[in-house]
């Protein structure tokens, strides 16, 4: 995820302080990985330097000065370009799981045990996500669906690999 573009998009609704941007980001996108304040301010500094945001006001208070940021026309154009650019699909061609299976076969370990353990871990994660989905709001339900569909695809791969383990062993040990 592009944190800079996300913060710019949040600024399109109006000027905000860094603290407000962090709170809005965490509420909408950071359920599993909230932003650190330092990340917000370093990103805002970079966006300011690149002319994508401007300081809309500075408030003095009991602590450090609070800058209020506003998106510039260049920032709006940058967000529009980013939103219109399709994301490259993640192909997972260098999967750690695949590497573990091949190494297990090369070292004469039981790759089926690794597949079984991974299947159990995937099912555990799916139960947690399904529970979260059931309790979440609509936006959280959609993000959980995204993760669940990926886990389901992984499970299909685990089953296919288990069924072809002998052929894979022949292929990698030749």
To the question of domain 3-84 being in CATH 1.10.730.10, the answer is no
Which of 162, 72, 62 is closest to 115 using CA atoms?
162
What is residue 144's predicted lDDT score, i.e. its pLDDT?
95
Tens of pLDDT along 62-80? 677 789 999 999 999 999 9
Domain boundaries, the chain: 3-84, 96-173
pLDDT single digits (tens) 76-126? 999 999 999 988 887 877 788 999 999 999 999 999 999 999 999 999 999
Contact 144, 129 (CB under 8 A): yes
Q: Percent of the chain at pLDDT above 70?
A: 98
Write down the pTM of the prediction.
0.74
Gap between the Cα atoms of 133 and 21, Å rounded: 25
Interval 121-138: pLDDT, tens: 999 999 999 999 999 999
Task: Give the whole-angstrom CA distance, residue 100 versus residue 75.
Answer: 44
Instruction: Return the exposure string of 95-116: e unless at least 16 CB atoms fall within 10 Å of the residue's CB, then b.
Output: eebeebbbebbeeeeebeebbe
């Amino acid at each position: 995820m592009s944190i800079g573009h996300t913060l710019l998009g949040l600024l399109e609704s109006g000027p905000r302080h860094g603290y407000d941007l962090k709170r809005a980001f965490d509420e909408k996108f950071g359920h599993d990985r909230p932003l650190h304040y330092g990340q917000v301010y370093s990103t805002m500094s970079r966006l300011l330097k690149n002319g994508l945001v401007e300081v809309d006001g500075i408030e003095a208070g009991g602590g450090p000065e609070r800058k209020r940021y506003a998106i510039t026309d260049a920032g709006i154009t940058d967000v529009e370009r980013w939103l219109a650019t399709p994301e490259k699909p993640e192909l997972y061609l260098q999967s750690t799981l695949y590497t573990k299976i091949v190494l297990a076969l090369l070292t004469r370990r039981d790759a089926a045990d690794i597949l079984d353990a991974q299947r159990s871990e995937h099912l555990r994660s799916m139960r947690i996500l399904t529970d979260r989905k059931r309790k979440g709001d609509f936006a959280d339900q959609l993000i959980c669906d995204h993760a669940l569909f990926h886990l389901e695809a992984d499970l299909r791969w685990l089953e296919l690999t288990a069924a072809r383990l002998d052929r894979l062993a022949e292929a990698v040990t030749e």
